[in-house]
Structure 1
Amino acid sequence: MSNQRPSYDVVILGSGIAGSTLGAVLARSGAKVLLADAATHPRFAVGESMIPQLVSWLQVLAERYDVPEFHALCDPKTINEQISNTFGQKRHFGFMLHRPGEEPDPKEANQFVIPDELSSACHLYRQDCDAYLFRVAVKYGCESRQQWRVSGIAFDDDGVTLTGVDGCEVRGRYLVDASGFRSPLADHFQLREQPCRFKHHSRSLFTHMVGVRPFDEVIKVAPEDQPPVPWHDGTMHHNFERGWFWIIPFDNHKLSRNPVCSVGVTLDPRLYPKPEDITPEEEFAQLASRFPAVARQLEGARKVREWVSTGRLQYSSRQTVGRRWCLMSHAAGFLDPLYSRGMSNTMEVIAALAPRLLDALADDDFDEERFRYVEELEQGLLDYNDTLVNCSFIAFSHYRLWDAMFRVWGCGTTPGTLRLNKALRTFRATRDASLFDILEKVPHVGLWWPDSDDFKAVLDGTAEACARYEAKEIDGDTAADIILRLLEESEAVPPDFGWKDPNKRFIFPDRRQILDFLQWAATSPLPELSSLGGENLDAILKANAAAAAAGGR
């Protein structure tokens, strides 16, 4: 086969959520695609918590490439009805600070409730949604080789030849590696940076469990400290110095019949070195026992699969695209599951790679320069996430500093999502795909709000303050004051919602606040805000009017 014209237009290594989504898009657009995987479906995977930007990117892919099946993942009701009744809902991001041997202070808690008017999100039971996306890819024409491990890769002028451990050869015109950390392509070109360039350090222990108690039953608080949404209705983060536990329930939606809960911890190995004389389960139990409220939430819970204990999670690559190849998403690098950006980053990369790859197939021109933006995007997504997560781990040891970090992260999420929703709405009306090309013309590629110089300045000032705190040049209160002043003075941070108000720990925008925010944005001197405000305001008002009219009939 190596002497013949390639049998496939694109060979994708890895048929998980990244490979299957890309495969479905390409095959639906007419490409001949092979999904090759060393394992089979269904299978366990981590990366289970959605964010609004992920929902928006899935909707973009669904409508631009006519793959309506992606919409099923975008709402907890539809995902439980159309895929399987095993998925939870994510109504909020919840955070509470813990100290060893102490009960948590309810006043050292934060919650950001996802506005219903803008988006919804799910807790993904990955073995079911990944298998669903794999079936969608096959439905649209992808061929599949499961349990096929690659042992050799060879490029030539016409394509690439992959050899399996079974001796079979496969030919393609282009190779996408979406296989993750153990990337055959990264090994082939020796692409991993040694050492990894990221500042952040963490390792992880995780499993699935049954019998995890809702945190609302574990901790009793005064009415003024009660969060607006139950902790159990979203993703719970238990923060402690240089680490955090996650609790992601799959039973918190009325249609779900899944008793399983995702449980894990990430922590800095420089402060918590990996022990050699105990099992991962024993280590996790010892860690949880240090924090009384966490221990109560997990009391009596039982694992349903073996514990996984990793080394350092972070890895990076010096290059992610080349002639006839791309390292995609988690094959390119990884940071940390904090803030759940991994799957959103994956879909954003697919949205950038797919049109370029389809054009290259049509032109039979695979010069790596036409894929240069994909490289810039992948590296930027990782580097900005490194800044965000590294600062957050630094801040976990001081509540006021963490509270300031929470605000820096949160205040950019809504504009970052609104710009996608605006482009999608216009595309629905015009079918003009160049709207998505415009989204790429930004000064800060990879930032979650990439077209705002003012927001980038806030993030840069935040990173400097956290670095000075880490170096013991300033104390935590001083660092927090610097960041809060940056937020207060920034024209990119809205006065609504409460991002500028350190007394407001729970951010839960209602319909009135959303409308006020959009009216404020429409009159902003910043073009990245004024361009969002008016159009999104009109869209919400029209939707509200239509809903009211329908309710009156």
Structure 2
Amino acid sequence: MNDQSQHSHDVAILGTGLAGSVLGAILAKAGHRVLLLDAGTHPRFAIGESTVGYTLVHLRMLANRYGVPEVGHLGSLDECIKYIGSSSGVKKHFGFMIHRDGKEPDPREINQFRLPKVLHTASHYFRQDVDAYLFNTAVRYGCEAKQNCRVEKVDIDDDGVTLQTTRGETHRVRYIVDGSGFRSPLATQFGLRAEPNPLKHHARSIFTHMTGVKRVDDLTRGLDTPPLPWHEGTMHHMFDRGWFWIIPFDNHPQSTNPLCSVGVQLDPRRYPKPADMTPEQEFWHHVDRFPLVKRQLAEARSVREWVGTDRLQYTSTQTVGYRYALLSHAAGFIDPLFSRGMSNTAEVINVLAWRLLRALRNDDFDPEQFEYVERLQQGLIHHNDRLVNSAFISFQNYDLWNAVFRIWSYGSLPGAFRVIHEDEKARATGDHGYWKGLEDVPNPGLWWPDKPEYKEIFEVMADYCEAVDAGEMKAQDAADRLFARLRRADWIPPSLGIANENVKFIDPNPKALIKMLRWSARQAPADMRDYMVGTSVSAIKHFVRGKRIF
């Protein structure tokens, strides 16, 4: 065993966004010397504001498992308001509308997926406040932080890691985690980016924060009223090979933030970056194509500079190695569609943290101990790439999109229920084996990773969409075949209307949950019955009593 006194710190973490600060707090809480290094400073603008139930479930599990309650506060809007502030918005649903050039949305071509309250009240994080809170939390637990400090060289040897910064400082640590995102120093220095880029999805982005964005509910005459106001969730205005996001922070009574995150994703193969337009000019050019979007943003004004990117998709050939790990967005990124970014981050931290704590305790950093972290990160990137690519292809045909929407939305429910159920058992018994058992799955990276039938329909969906894109299958045929599979599936409860293409709004309200509970107890396949029954009961109690299950 080497002399640990030679190391100034046990772990260096590059980047102090959500990922780096949460992991730093966990490690410092466990008594380890943690060095946080960041090229920027807090508070600062950050994109990636929309959460989902799976994000909240994992954040609260991290808090329970590693004894850092501050992380759990992010797991519900009420606690965000209490402990962080009133600048974040509420997210009660995913809202979707298909748009066509020069036309109002077709009343048939809209969808909403309500997030059940058992997953807690999701948020639109105002990231500069949330990230600063987590950074300060990590420092309170004992992390040493250096902001405005860029790492320019990393050397890894048998006994540790040496970091050199642009300040001329040298730091010696036992392990390094890179959570700095696309410009990862480790990925750059070690040549870890996959080239040529193997990812199927193509999109670039234009975005800003705005004030004066109108409520879409006030502008949608002729469209069916959804279960929840559009303004109370993340709004997706979709068109052929692109989509706008509208993420309000001012959409609940306690909010004090007048801003809204607004952006557009564009397939650069369909919409090449124009040489004669600024990002702002190009954004408004696309807004002008769609009457409803134009009305919603008619009085909107940007409060900060516009950002225009090139293609956003990237991945890495390797994300863990001897004495190092790339964390989430340092490893790869796909698209903000379906709000997977922070969910992926929380998942990866959960499986990395206990392994890293064990490695530090035993002074054994054999990469084989981190093999599941690699599998999970590669799975997250692969499955999300196939999902978002399928969605972009499907925007051309509502029926195909409608099928993709259902396969995605339903899969996220049992997947989250499974995590809630095992987390409850781990906390009730004190047996960490329940948490570790969540990793015993054949398909890491899927939101429902232990259900072979779901994996099959997911892959068929992606294959069909790619066949449509290649001109080998008609979009309507693909949609019809997918709905036929959904109707045959004995693992889908009838109460949610998943297999009924005419049900536009997937609404797990108390009535639907009671029916799902009965189905779960009597008809659900054995491999999913326990967590569907247990969490359905908790969800009903949550609706009726207004109490949280954590």
TM-score (norm 2): 0.97
The 1-side partners of 2:421 and 2:251 are apart by 31
Question: Is the alpha carbon distance of 1:307 and 1:528 closer, same or farther for their aligned partners in structure 2, counting shifts above 3 Å?
Answer: farther
Q: Which residue does 1:300 correspond to in 2?
A: 299
Contact 2:160–2:323 (8 Å) recurs in 1: yes
Deviation for aligned residue 1:3: 11
When structure 1 is superposed on structure 2, of 504-513 and 48-57 the one drifting more is: 504-513
May I ask how many residue pairs the two structures share in their alignment?
545
The 2-side partners of 1:490 and 1:546 are apart by 33
Question: Is the alpha carbon distance of 1:509 and 1:545 closer, same or farther for their aligned partners in structure 2, counting shifts above 3 Å?
Answer: closer
Question: Is the alpha carbon distance of 1:525 and 1:261 closer, same or farther for their aligned partners in structure 2, counting shifts above 3 Å?
Answer: closer
CA deviation vs aligned residue, 1:295-354 (integer Å, no higher than 9, x gap)? 110002110110000000000100000000001100000000000001000000000000
Confirm whether residue 82 of structure 1 aligns to residue 109 of structure 2: no
Contact 1:461–1:486 (8 Å) recurs in 2: no
Question: Is the alpha carbon distance of 1:309 and 1:542 closer, same or farther for their aligned partners in structure 2, counting shifts above 3 Å?
Answer: closer
Q: Which residue does 2:107 correspond to in 1?
A: 106
Q: Which residue does 1:484 correspond to in 2?
A: 483
Deviation for aligned residue 1:540: 4.9
When structure 1 is superposed on structure 2, of 469-478 and 166-175 the one drifting more is: 469-478
Contact 2:414–2:532 (8 Å) recurs in 1: no
CA RMSD, Structure 1 to Structure 2 (Å): 1.6
Q: Which residue does 2:325 correspond to in 1?
A: 326
Question: Is the alpha carbon distance of 1:546 and 1:193 closer, same or farther for their aligned partners in structure 2, counting shifts above 3 Å?
Answer: closer
Question: Is the alpha carbon distance of 1:534 and 1:515 closer, same or farther for their aligned partners in structure 2, counting shifts above 3 Å?
Answer: same
Question: Is the alpha carbon distance of 1:545 and 1:496 closer, same or farther for their aligned partners in structure 2, counting shifts above 3 Å?
Answer: closer
Contact 2:98–2:395 (8 Å) recurs in 1: yes
SS at match of 2:117: coil
Q: Which residue does 1:432 correspond to in 2?
A: 431
Deviation for aligned residue 1:515: 2.6
CA deviation vs aligned residue, 1:353-381 (integer Å, no higher than 9, x gap)? 00000000000000000000000000000
- Equivalent residue letter for 1:116: K
Confirm whether residue 179 of structure 1 aligns to residue 180 of structure 2: yes
CA deviation vs aligned residue, 1:182-230 (integer Å, no higher than 9, x gap)? 00000111000112111010000000000000101122125xx111111
CA deviation vs aligned residue, 1:153-199 (integer Å, no higher than 9, x gap)? 11111110100112110111000000000000001110001121110
Q: Which residue does 2:215 correspond to in 1?
A: 214
The 1-side partners of 2:55 and 2:130 are apart by 14
Q: Which residue does 1:125 correspond to in 2?
A: 126
Q: Which residue does 2:506 correspond to in 1?
A: 507
The 2-side partners of 1:337 and 1:3 are apart by 41
Contact 1:519–1:537 (8 Å) recurs in 2: no
Confirm whether residue 376 of structure 1 aligns to residue 408 of structure 2: no
CA deviation vs aligned residue, 1:257-277 (integer Å, no higher than 9, x gap)? 100000000010000001111
CA deviation vs aligned residue, 1:448-496 (integer Å, no higher than 9, x gap)? 1000000011111111211221122222211100111111112222212
SS at match of 1:338: coil
Q: Percent identity?
A: 51
Contact 1:93–1:112 (8 Å) recurs in 2: yes
Deviation for aligned residue 1:541: 6.3
Contact 1:444–1:451 (8 Å) recurs in 2: yes
Confirm whether residue 7 of structure 1 aligns to residue 8 of structure 2: yes
Deviation for aligned residue 1:544: 7.5
Deviation for aligned residue 1:71: 2.4
Question: Is the alpha carbon distance of 1:544 and 1:255 closer, same or farther for their aligned partners in structure 2, counting shifts above 3 Å?
Answer: closer
When structure 1 is superposed on structure 2, of 115-124 and 378-387 the one drifting more is: 115-124
Confirm whether residue 443 of structure 1 aligns to residue 442 of structure 2: yes
Q: Which residue does 1:551 correspond to in 2?
A: none
Confirm whether residue 270 of structure 1 aligns to residue 269 of structure 2: yes
The 2-side partners of 1:430 and 1:92 are apart by 33
CA deviation vs aligned residue, 1:362-402 (integer Å, no higher than 9, x gap)? 00000000000000000000100011100000000111111
Q: Which residue does 2:497 correspond to in 1?
A: 498
Question: Is the alpha carbon distance of 1:128 and 1:46 closer, same or farther for their aligned partners in structure 2, counting shifts above 3 Å?
Answer: same
SS at match of 1:262: strand
SS at match of 1:135: helix
Contact 2:513–2:540 (8 Å) recurs in 1: no
Deviation for aligned residue 1:545: 8.6
- Equivalent residue letter for 1:152: K
CA deviation vs aligned residue, 1:121-180 (integer Å, no higher than 9, x gap)? 000000000000001111111110111011111111111010011211011100000000
Question: Is the alpha carbon distance of 1:311 and 1:542 closer, same or farther for their aligned partners in structure 2, counting shifts above 3 Å?
Answer: closer
- Equivalent residue letter for 2:299: G
The 2-side partners of 1:268 and 1:312 are apart by 8
Question: Is the alpha carbon distance of 1:541 and 1:267 closer, same or farther for their aligned partners in structure 2, counting shifts above 3 Å?
Answer: closer
Q: Structure 1 runs of 4+ off > 6 angstroms?
A: 541-548
- Equivalent residue letter for 1:292: P
The 2-side partners of 1:266 and 1:72 are apart by 31
- Equivalent residue letter for 2:501: P
Confirm whether residue 29 of structure 1 aligns to residue 4 of structure 2: no
Deviation for aligned residue 1:285: 0.5
- Equivalent residue letter for 2:426: F
Deviation for aligned residue 1:507: 1.1
Question: Is the alpha carbon distance of 1:537 and 1:234 closer, same or farther for their aligned partners in structure 2, counting shifts above 3 Å?
Answer: closer
Consecutive unaligned residues of structure 2, counting only runs of 5 or more, are: none
TM-score (norm 1): 0.96
Deviation for aligned residue 1:506: 0.7
Deviation for aligned residue 1:546: 7.3
The 1-side partners of 2:106 and 2:468 are apart by 23
When structure 1 is superposed on structure 2, of 468-477 and 514-523 the one drifting more is: 514-523
Confirm whether residue 279 of structure 1 aligns to residue 278 of structure 2: yes
The 2-side partners of 1:466 and 1:534 are apart by 33
Confirm whether residue 288 of structure 1 aligns to residue 290 of structure 2: no
The 1-side partners of 2:533 and 2:420 are apart by 13
- Equivalent residue letter for 1:78: E
